Amino acid sequence: MDPRPVSGARHVAVIMDGNGRWAERQGLERTEGHRAGVESVRQTVRAANDLGVGWLTLYAFSSENWNRPKKEVELLMSLPEEFFEEELPEVIEKNVRILSIGRRDRLPPGVRASLENAEAQTAQNTGMRLVFALSYGARGEIVDAVKRLLRDGRLDAESIDEKTFAAYLDQPEMPDVDLLIRTGGEQRVSNFLLWQIAYAELVTLECMWPDFRRAHLEAALEAFGGRERRFGLTGAQVRGGGSP
């Protein structure tokens, strides 16, 4: 059964930006910003679950992040293991299911093992889906979907439509994103969920990710609830009961 939506926001995705800048502004090493950001992940997961969000996808490590300094990459790769080790009991208790997207074959063995264990331990949970985008890039996901489709070999070109193609993405059950939140003040989507954010509402925040808390999520959801989503229709059609 798909998790329940809240205020129409079935799927919330977050670009967790600003860890490094947060640390630099305080005279700390960038790695300290990433460590501080883990607490924001904890708080956000709890808040999203409390607020009834059905799907929460967090951009934890992009395919481009592999090009960062070795020390920073090593620290970033250690954080998922620490999170799963510390938070898995609560995740299980809260009936949250953990999923992932991205090229996990590039992940260090320890990270991959902890991720797969978390997925297995929560596989039967029916509450909020918590999706970690690890070693993820949306263009890569689309290319990988094309490869899977071609390897399948059962489809002819004329039978392929959007629904068929989406079935070959990393998580075929993932619904389109309703609300995309980006912290850190930047105004770009950074190769994140390009297929799934086609009609997403965007909320960008000046606060850096380590400062993100429940109040920020509630404000973003409130802003989302006040927007008119047209899906190509006119405002009059939407207000008159039209549907996408």
Q: Catalytic amino acids?
A: 17, 65
| Euclidean distance between CA atoms 10 and 30, whole angstroms | 33
Rg (CA), the chain: 18
The three-state secondary structure class of 81 is helix
Distances (CA, A) of 144 to 102, 168, 174, 180: 10, 8, 16, 23
Find the farthest-apart pair of alpha carbons in the chain and give their distance in angstroms, rounded.
58
- Here the tokens at position 242 are 């039209």
The CB-side HSE value for 110 (13 A sphere, CA atoms) comes to 11
192: closest CA among 57, 80, 67? 57
Helical H segments across 51-99, by residue range: 70-93
State the DSSP string of 115-146: HHHHHHHTTT--S-EEEEEEEE-HHHHHHHHH
Indicate the DSSP class of residue 6.
Answer: B
- Here the tokens at position 19 are 């860890």
Sign of CA dihedral 54, 173, 181, 132: positive
